[in-house]
Structure 1
């Protein structure tokens, strides 16, 4: 029985500044079917509030409790573990970490820093790690689809470089972290084996959710999808469909 749906955003609902065809109506169809719905994104270049405002401009009205971001998860981790961040993130995300108390414990927080991924900044992070700081990866994605429509290098390669140099393993806070998926599911009272994930990333979205115990995970052929992704990572998708409207059709057809 399907009792809850998680949707990725970039590449599934929108690409760049454009909503994908049929995506808004597809989300409305899930709401009309009275299915609890959460949006789980690995976007790390915007604060949660900025992302909510952007979604509103695109025509997608969602509340803060429906949206789960790695920045939000990182702030929670830092608070829970009484740690102060050493940030290697996009300048627009730094606001997410404002107002945290200063503690002796330190944690290097790595997100999609873009042009801030300079040698000096990476070396500063490395030195903090070998001095005892924890390593937090907001996400460890390999690629993302840029505004030019081509795949671009994501933060995962830089996280891997810091892991290699420091000998530390990163704590991944976004997808495919089971805790990240679990927080979204818990907020709507849904067990993993009653949940469906829809995403364009065969590794983080699909294999990640299935490894976290989800009943089903659908891969859409939009966003960063490339031919062959459905067999590139294991577990394989429950189904590979054209886009979000097709994914919603798959889900709705299995409600009765």
Structure 2
């Protein structure tokens, strides 16, 4: 990983949420203070998440309850990006997603689907659901759309399977490549950058996922910092030699963004 002496202070920050701001519905130590430091320093930020077990509204109110002083405009979720894509392209999706997201996608036309949407579906990742998705994809014009390709996430002190392994299974079976609409897709980062009104090289992404957060951001031209919270595993930093490393969000903010 890069050294502190190599870092130039940034003007904007992108923050992953789960594993960086909070874990299991509780704020991580120093996270609320870190966000306050960004605000006091006048550094604008956006919250980016591939989380797909809760609606954006639920995430926003959870963050407010935990003490994070944020606005709704600062929250970018992969499910919302997915919904925008489906509407823009007039797609009729078969959705493999968690029941909590059903209301957000209910207004779409789901008859005779010509697209498969894969989010973190939890217990809905069974043979019946995956086989139905496969059958839809075997239609020539059907698209495979994924919220992300995350391998796992941390919950209740254990790593849990995320959507990525099931996306890969459907790619293998159907021979189709998934269109990824959350991290690490460059378009997802670009949307947040446009909202900040800053060039990529003046923005730092802070996350706990070395691939989706750190390498994804680096490939999009941003700077990136891996924190040792959430899903971080010892040695992850070796997979992102051009990134930064911090113990937690507070250290990342103090060392890499906020001047005295």
The alignment's TM-score, normalised by the length of structure 1, stands at 0.94
Q: Tell me how far 1:61 sits from its aligned partner.
A: 2.9
- State the partner residue of 1:227: 234
Q: Tell me how far 1:134 sits from its aligned partner.
A: 0.6
Paired residues in the alignment total 251
Q: Tell me how far 1:187 sits from its aligned partner.
A: 0.8
Taking the TM superposition and a 5 Å limit, the aligned residue runs for 1:73-152 are: 73-100=81-108, 106-131=114-139, 132-147=141-156, 149-152=157-160
- State the partner residue of 2:172: 164
Q: Tell me how far 1:64 sits from its aligned partner.
A: 1.8
Q: Tell me how far 1:98 sits from its aligned partner.
A: 2.5
Comparing 56-65 with 120-129, which one deviates more in the overlay? 56-65
Change (3 A) 1:208 1:113: same
Q: For 2:228 and 2:242, how far apart are their aligned partners in 1?
A: 12
Structure 1 runs of 4+ aligned residues shifted over 6 Å read 102-105
The answer (yes or no) to whether the contact 1:230–1:237 under 8 Å persists in 2 is no
The answer (yes or no) to whether the contact 2:94–2:110 under 8 Å persists in 1 is no
- SS for the counterpart of 2:84 is helix
Q: Tell me how far 1:75 sits from its aligned partner.
A: 0.7
Alignment gaps of 5+ in structure 1: none
Q: For 1:63 and 1:98, how far apart are their aligned partners in 2?
A: 25
Change (3 A) 1:93 1:237: farther
Q: For 1:177 and 1:245, how far apart are their aligned partners in 2?
A: 26
Is residue 29 from structure 1 mapped to residue 37 from structure 2 by the alignment? yes
Q: For 1:54 and 1:96, how far apart are their aligned partners in 2?
A: 17
- Map Cα deviations across residues 47-89 of structure 1 (whole Å, 9 max, x no partner): 1111111111211232221001110000110111111221000
- State the partner residue of 1:180: 188
The answer (yes or no) to whether the contact 2:93–2:109 under 8 Å persists in 1 is no
Q: For 2:110 and 2:121, how far apart are their aligned partners in 1?
A: 23
The answer (yes or no) to whether the contact 2:113–2:136 under 8 Å persists in 1 is no
Is residue 203 from structure 1 mapped to residue 208 from structure 2 by the alignment? no
Alignment gaps of 5+ in structure 2: 1-8
- Greater RCO (CA < 8 Å, at least 6 residues apart): 2
9, 12, 19: which one pairs with 1:4?
12
The answer (yes or no) to whether the contact 1:83–1:104 under 8 Å persists in 2 is no
